[in-house]
Amino acid sequence: MEKYILLDHGSGGLASQNLIGSLFLKYLKDPVLQQLEDAAVLPAEQGQLAFSTDSYVVDPIFFPGGNIGELAVNGTINDLAMRGARPICLSLGLILEEGFAVAELEQIIKSIAAACDYAGVPVVTGDTKVVPKGKADKIFINTSGVGIIEGGIDVTARKAQSGDVILLSGTLADHGITILTSREGLQVGGNLQSDTRPLHFLARSLVKDFPGEIHTMRDPTRGGLGTTLSEIAKTTGLCMEIEEKAIPMQPEVRAACELMGLDPLYLANEGKCMVLAAPEHAEKILQTMCSTPEGRDSAIIGRVSAKHSGRVVLTTVSGGTRLVEPLSGEPLPRIC
Amino acid sequence: MKYVDEYRGSEYVSNLTEKLQTLSSRKVRIMEVCGTHTMSIFKHGIRRMLPEQVQLISGPGCPVCVTPSGVIDAFVELAGRPEVVITTFGDMIRVPGTGASLMEARAAGADVNIVYSPMDALELAEQKPDKLVVFLSVGFETTTPTISATILEAARRKIENFCIFPANKTMPPPLKALIQDPELQVDGLLCPGHVSIINGSESYRFLVEDHNIACVVAGFEPTDILLSIIALVKQVQENRPAVENCYSRVVTPEGNVKARKIVETVFEPVDSEWRGLGTIEASGLTLREEYGRFDVTRRLEIQIVPSSEPKGCLCGNILKGISQPPDCPIFGNRCTPGSPVGPCMVSSEGTCAAWHRYGDLS
């Protein structure tokens, strides 16, 4: 195998076959994928289909706590999970830059395979293209996923109701701050790590154990919790009231945000789930979330009301109140 | 988090707001000069904790906001030149002049880089010897010392492909201009904490002695700000204006003499145009002749075209504290953080951006 990706590897000819055989299929072992047919054929299942797609262009491609490969697997699984679906398969589309190191590609494919194994969701179809040097940045990944929503499950922003509790499955802004600091080469100290992980196990236990009570689930990725809550507030015309004090955050993430002048409410999360649920069993729902490894730091962070229609209102640690608007533009560090 | 929680806790804050409530007996107009204060006041929801009699007015203390659009147009034009690499602090990049922003220039192929320190720009110049690396030198007393140190370092290391575009400004001249404005009628100033670290609290003495204005230097946490507002209200109600330093954990009366000396070595005062306020005597900084080779405007042919403010925009009055953002007919509709029209909306520290982002819940 060559050391670097060549244009030939995307030609569809022998070099492509070699790359598929000696690298992709070495790690991605699903029998449907191994058939190398034009389309994956899977048995039809009862229920509704959930279908989602996402592209991953993160820079740097390797970061503390993960890499672009597992991010691409977990990200699409999470989008399916947030609708209460059981993810069943993924597609994997790669756009590689000519000259990209094969060793790095191998490392990424390995972690894609590991993430798929952990989640129990296989890659069943794939595609690779190579573009000339400078026309892409090392590697871009697209994953699409299909999931099954079993009868009776209906999780959507439209089901949010006044009185619902707002829960968050763990600490805020871990991924966003890790990417920003590693991209800028800033040494902030502490142990900043991306939180990339699949949420479908957690989501499944919630929708199964509390049928009808889990109204809305969202993973606050790009745009952060602030933007996600704003979207729900706008869609429903309800007011999302959250408590700054109640939002779990790692001390080093808080410190890094303070130092860089960034608001953690607008930074990305890649393994956190926000849940709007009926208040009757809020404590039990919280316990269920806390009993899972991905939700052990879960907390109730607020409540849905009708107070300020379509708005998100934050009570600050100082006891003041303010609006939380959706993010506009990338978060940028300030002059002073 | 240490040094943060102690200054934000609701138990400390509510003690201070109660004290302020019982203390306030007459209307007091306070201007917070600094953009970081404006943001902090909004971010922590302080405005809604204040008694009705205490009115906060946001001042001109956001360096991005007060940079004239003609200067921003010149930044963008410069960015388009193939031999130039632009380096800038992050929040300058989205600011539109009369046409495009640096972000749009970058999309069109310009080499525009965000740096965290002008020293990073100098490193970039060393890595790109065939390019002219230009640092867009925007900021008040807080950033000018590091920029000065970078110029001295460039001279010492003989890095000749490094320049700055000087657009630095100083705080005392616009304060003097503002408090003389008969429309404004300010009783006291919440003086900028970071600027005061460099200038020292004594730099406000002239405002007290010549203009009878209460001056309190404030930190940026909720308790810092409330404590300083209490001090201001007391001064105004007792009619004994003075310079008080409520940020003594970092601000001294004399300030950072060494930093000021470095600035004086490299820069000299010059008349400067402030967006929304007009030209103010000796309120800007330009490089001294000795360091003139590091000034891109002397090295290349650069035109700064004077420009007028966009139609309908009230930023001139907002920067002077005469109007508030919701008074502006284009606020929140034609002018938003996503597509800003006026200077106060462009930077995250701008008054309009703060109102828009953190809102008025009343």
For the stretch A108-164, pLDDT in tens is 999 999 999 999 999 999 999 999 999 999 999 999 999 999 988 999 999 999 999
Contact B10 A318 (CB under 8 A): yes
Name, in order, each residue with C-beta under 8 angstroms of A290's C-beta and a sequence gap of 6 or more. A296, A297, A298
For residues A123 and A223, membership in a common domain is answered with no
How does pLDDT run across B245-278, given as a tens digit for each residue? 999 999 999 999 999 999 999 999 999 999 888 8
Range(s) within chain B of domains with CATH label 3.40.50.11740: 69-170+255-299
Residue A93 in contact with residue A130, Cβ under 8 Å?
Answer: no
Spatial separation of the C-alpha atoms in residues A168 and A290, rounded to whole Å: 10
User: At the fourth CATH level, which superfamily is domain B69-170+255-299?
Assistant: HypD, alpha/beta domain 2 (3.40.50.11740)
Element (H, E) at A96: strand A86-97
Residue A332 lies in a domain: no
Contact A258 B222 (CB under 8 A): no
Give me the number of domains chain A comprises: 2
Is the pLDDT confidence value at B183 over 90? no
Name, in order, each residue with C-beta under 8 angstroms of B110's C-beta and a sequence gap of 6 or more. B79, B80, B84, B86, B102
Spatial separation of the C-alpha atoms in residues A99 and B310, rounded to whole Å: 48
Strand order in the sheet with A123-131: A48-56, A139-149, A86-97, A123-131
Query: Tell me, what DSSP letter sits at residue A237?
Result: -
Distances (CA, A) of A53 to A45, A50, A139, B30, B36: 20, 11, 17, 52, 40
Domain boundary among A111, A133, A149: A149
Looking at chain A from residue 98 to 117, which residues have their Cβ under 8 Å from any Cβ of chain B? none
The CATH number of residue A108's host domain is 3.30.1330.10
Burial of B213 from C-beta contacts in 10 A (0-12 / 13-18 / 19+): buried
For residues A189 and A141, membership in a common domain is answered with no
The CATH number of residue A269's host domain is 3.90.650.10
How does pLDDT run across B49-75, given as a tens digit for each residue? 999 999 998 888 888 888 998 999 999
How does pLDDT run across B6-56, given as a tens digit for each residue? 899 999 999 999 999 999 899 999 999 898 999 899 999 998 899 999 999
The helix/strand/coil state of A183 is helix
For residues A163 and A136, membership in a common domain is answered with no
Strand order in the sheet with B162-168: B111-114, B84-88, B132-139, B162-168
Q: Is A334 on the interface with B (CB under 8 A)?
A: yes
For residues A311 and A263, membership in a common domain is answered with yes
Residue A215's pLDDT band (cuts 50, 70, 90):
very high
Residue A166 in contact with residue A276, Cβ under 8 Å?
Answer: yes
Locate the chain B residue with the closest alpha carbon to A250: B1
CA nearest B338: which of B43, B101, B37?
Answer: B101
Fold classification of B5-33+172-244 is Rossmann fold (3.40.50)
Residue A314 lies in a domain: yes
ipTM of the complex: 0.83
Residues in chain A: 336
Give the phi and the psi of residue B164 in degrees, each rounded to 5: -120, 160
Residue A336's pLDDT band (cuts 50, 70, 90):
low
Q: Say how many CB pairs under 8 Å bridge A and B.
A: 108
For residues A11 and A122, membership in a common domain is answered with yes
Token digits for A300?
Answer: 């109730």
Give the phi and the psi of residue B308 in degrees, each rounded to 5: -95, 165
For residues A99 and A139, membership in a common domain is answered with yes
Q: What global pTM score does this model have?
A: 0.89
Domain that holds residue A224: 157-323
For residues A268 and A215, membership in a common domain is answered with yes
Contact A321 B338 (CB under 8 A): no
Spatial separation of the C-alpha atoms in residues A279 and B239, rounded to whole Å: 54
What spatial distance separates the first Cα and last Cα of chain B, rounded to whole Å? Answer: 31
Token digits for B311?
Answer: 């139609």
For residues A22 and A87, membership in a common domain is answered with yes
Residue A330 lies in a domain: no
Site of tokens 């229609």: A309
pLDDT for res A333: 62
For residues A116 and A167, membership in a common domain is answered with no
Token digits for B1?
Answer: 């988090």
Spatial separation of the C-alpha atoms in residues B29 and B178, rounded to whole Å: 14
How does pLDDT run across A161-182, given as a tens digit for each residue? 999 999 999 999 999 999 998 8
Amino acid, single-letter form, for residue B113: N
Cβ-based contacts of B10 with chain A (< 8 Å): 245, 317-319
Q: Closest Cα of chain A to B194: distance in Å?
A: 8
For residues A123 and A196, membership in a common domain is answered with no
Locate the chain B residue with the closest alpha carbon to A320: B45
CA nearest A238: which of A323, A159, A163, A309?
Answer: A309
Range(s) within chain B of domains with CATH label 3.40.50.11750: 5-33+172-244
Distances (CA, A) of B76 to B68, B73, B136, B298: 13, 5, 11, 17
Contact B44 A322 (CB under 8 A): yes
Q: Is A318 on the interface with B (CB under 8 A)?
A: yes
How does pLDDT run across A74-96, given as a tens digit for each residue? 999 999 999 999 999 999 999 99
For residues A181 and A309, membership in a common domain is answered with yes
The rounded mean pLDDT for chain B is 93
Q: Which one is predicted more confidently, A189 or A266? A: A266
Spatial separation of the C-alpha atoms in residues B308 and B69, rounded to whole Å: 8
Q: Which long-range contacts (CB under 8 A, 24 or more apart) does A98-101 make?
A: A98/A4, A98/A5, A98/A6, A98/A7, A98/A130, A98/A131, A98/A132, A98/A133, A98/A135, A99/A4, A99/A5, A99/A133, A100/A4, A100/A5, A100/A138, A100/A139, A101/A3, A101/A4, A101/A5
For residues A128 and A220, membership in a common domain is answered with no
